[in-house]
Structure 1
Amino acid sequence: MQLFRDLEPLSSEYRHGALTIGNFDGVHLGHARIARQVRQRADEVGGPAVVFTFDPHPVRLLRPELAPPPLTWTRRKVELLGDLGIDAVIAYPTTMALLELSPDAFFDQIIVQKMAAKAMVEGPNFNFGKNRAGDTTTLAKLCGENGIQLDILEPFTRSGETEFVSSSRIRKLIAAGDVQTAREMLTRPYRIRGMVTHGAGRGASLGIPTANLEAIDTLVPEIGVYAGMSYRGGQTYAAAINIGPNPTFGEKARKIEVHLIGFAGSLYGEPLEVSFLSRLRDVTTFPNIDALQKQLAVDIEITKQTYHDYQTNHAS
């Protein structure tokens, strides 16, 4: 899997293939269906499977006050798309010049001249060009005129549901703390990253050391206690995660504290990634330290079992 941030150095190895254009925030099951179709068309035309996305999202330039918090950072998006068979992701720098291109100009400059695409795959709500003036009808016309095969896929819906899977729907679930339902719509459990900073050290004094995460650049789930997993040195650990204040100690500031179960050592000053499996409970004020310690012990045991069940069910 290759990541490119420009089209100038793009070799022929990553041109003349199948292409999809979109944000792919979160890389959910709908994105997965598009990616797999891109992979199939790439094999048929004998070229690469390529995702073209924008960095940052265009709305951050056009209407920054309306820009939603992202679900994935670029490198994570590349990793997830690579798992789906994509050969390269182009995270193209978003500029006003690019956003001012008409649909015809965007198609000619990017898809035809730069990418030399032989096939394209998109969803039904695809728009492109200045003011999002180009739609799938426009795209079909331009692809037909340039001999490019085009697939327009219907939105993905889970069995028994009428509402289709989307990044905005998943964002609402995570913001509400329903990370388990969100996980069922994503290709991998929802993950955040941050830098480990010094905290009050209360976890260590209770025998449950925690890593305090700051500088998080994606959506943070609702306040609560979660079961998840974390990653360090190529190893995965079950992780009990607390998001919110520590009311038992009279603290009101929201913090993100992660206890890596079975890990011994210092994490200060290091980056740390954490995935969420399920929400265990609300943040609670306990009458004393003993009551808090007993609940934390329960949280850790549930987290261990949740992690074990996930690993068992996703062993392949």
Structure 2
Amino acid sequence: MPVSSSPAFIVLRGSDPLPPTLARPVLAIGNFDGVHRGHRAVFEAARSMARERGAPALALTFEPHPRTFFSPQTAPFRLTPEGAKLRQIAASGLEGAIVLPFDQALATMDAEAFVRDILVGRYGVSGIAVGFDFHFGRARAGSPTFLEGAGRRHGFAVTVVDPMRDEDDPISSTAIRKALSAGQVGHAAHMLGRPFTVTAEVRHGDKRGRTIGFPTANLALAGNIDLAFGIYAVRANTADGRRFDGVANFGRRPTFDNGAPLLEVHLFDFTGDLYGQTLEVELHAYLRPELKFEGIDALVAQIAEDARRARAVLAQL
């Protein structure tokens, strides 16, 4: 899937120079995993600053996520892998994104050097927008307060965006992951500002579904995704632009093999072959936990009930 439907959105990587049309930018800086409502408030702050200065507004983000760089075995799962993150940033109205590789050199760079050499020296920033909890530089020494002081020294404006709250708690990528692990996809969607979505290639499975009247598209999700096992009401977008309601199971299939976690999606009123194609699946409601059934008849009856409930839930959206 393309990064953006708009040809105006520009993605720069590493030390790519800014084109003249993007000179003296205002940068929204962050990891932006999930591109949730709090992140979009940072983007809007950058756009507001840019309008005041007659400057372009860009995002500056990092790949891989710093937590993946420092601790790849224990890093939390990504809400938005790089492609999905860039598509969401493009949809936010910014003019482009700069993707800096988070490597050993960047990890050991001190905060002042990052400001002096990258923000000022490489990009010539006129303004910076960050969230209240943004930190950068070796040992996370760069804070919003540090940035404000650096802006006074180097001549760029700084806006620090207060937390956006969901009831009493700040909206954060961590809070969204916690909601998804508990099956609270509606709460996660409220914090994201859209349904949580996964994208993967449809792979061949055991083809049991077609033998019981419920053929499925099988997707292997990221190995460390912490999504509650169970049944979901979903909407899926195919690579050719079609959209279908459906019901999905994410789990280990305890009735059959208790194997590796798999997302099995049954699309309502779909005919055709999706093998090898990319499917984008939106999770709209968690219907029940994954269960083990004593026989195929009980399983089929439950799937039919799950499909009925999913249709009813999705009809209300």
- Asked if these proteins are the same fold (TM beyond 0.5), I'd say yes
Aligned AA for 2:42?
I
How far residue 38 of structure 1 moved from its aligned partner, in angstroms, is 1.2
**Aligned residue for 2:97?**
89
Aligned AA for 1:8?
D
Aligned AA for 1:285?
K
How far residue 263 of structure 1 moved from its aligned partner, in angstroms, is 1.6
Find the partner of 2:69 among 45, 61, 64: 61
Find the partner of 1:117 among 119, 125, 131: 125
**Aligned residue for 1:282?**
289
CA separation in 2, counterparts of 1:218 and 1:6?
A: 27
For the pair 1:305 / 2:312, whether they are aligned, the reply is: yes
Can you list the C-alpha shifts for 1:80-127, whole angstroms capped at 9, x where unaligned?
122221111112111111222111110011111222111111122221
How far residue 3 of structure 1 moved from its aligned partner, in angstroms, is 2.0
Find the partner of 2:237 among 212, 231, 234: 231
Aligned AA for 1:164?
P
For the pair 1:41 / 2:49, whether they are aligned, the reply is: yes
State whether residues 210 and 258 of structure 1, in contact with CA within 8 Å, keep that contact through their aligned partners in structure 2: yes
**Aligned residue for 1:314?**
none
How far residue 223 of structure 1 moved from its aligned partner, in angstroms, is 0.6
Find the partner of 2:180 among 170, 174, 184: 174
For the pair 1:197 / 2:209, whether they are aligned, the reply is: no
**Aligned residue for 2:109?**
101
State whether residues 195 and 215 of structure 1, in contact with CA within 8 Å, keep that contact through their aligned partners in structure 2: no
**Aligned residue for 2:145?**
137
Can you list the C-alpha shifts for 1:121-146, whole angstroms capped at 9, x where unaligned?
11222212111111122111111122
**Aligned residue for 1:260?**
267
Alignment of 1:65-80 (within 5 A): 65-80=73-88
Can you list the C-alpha shifts for 1:19-42, whole angstroms capped at 9, x where unaligned?
111111111111111111111111
Can you list the C-alpha shifts for 1:183-231, whole angstroms capped at 9, x where unaligned?
1110221111222111111111112110111253673511100011111
**Aligned with 1:247: secondary structure?**
coil
Unaligned segments of structure 1, at least 5 residues: 311-316
* TM-score of the pair, normalised by structure 2: 0.91
Find the partner of 1:50 among 58, 69, 77: 58
CA separation in 2, counterparts of 1:53 and 1:110?
A: 13
Find the partner of 2:193 among 170, 187, 202: 187
Find the partner of 1:207 among 196, 203, 213: 213
State whether residues 27 and 187 of structure 1, in contact with CA within 8 Å, keep that contact through their aligned partners in structure 2: no
Unaligned segments of structure 2, at least 5 residues: 1-8
**Aligned with 2:283: secondary structure?**
strand
Which segment is superposed worse, 162-171 or 77-86? Answer: 77-86
How far residue 60 of structure 1 moved from its aligned partner, in angstroms, is 2.2
RMSD between superposed Cα atoms in Å: 1.7
State whether residues 35 and 88 of structure 2, in contact with CA within 8 Å, keep that contact through their aligned partners in structure 1: yes
State whether residues 103 and 130 of structure 1, in contact with CA within 8 Å, keep that contact through their aligned partners in structure 2: yes
Aligned AA for 2:243?
T
Which segment is superposed worse, 69-78 or 8-17? Answer: 8-17
**Aligned residue for 2:35?**
27
User: CA 1:191–1:165 in 2, change beyond 3 Å: closer, same or farther?
Assistant: same
**Aligned with 1:209: secondary structure?**
coil
Find the partner of 2:154 among 146, 153, 166: 146
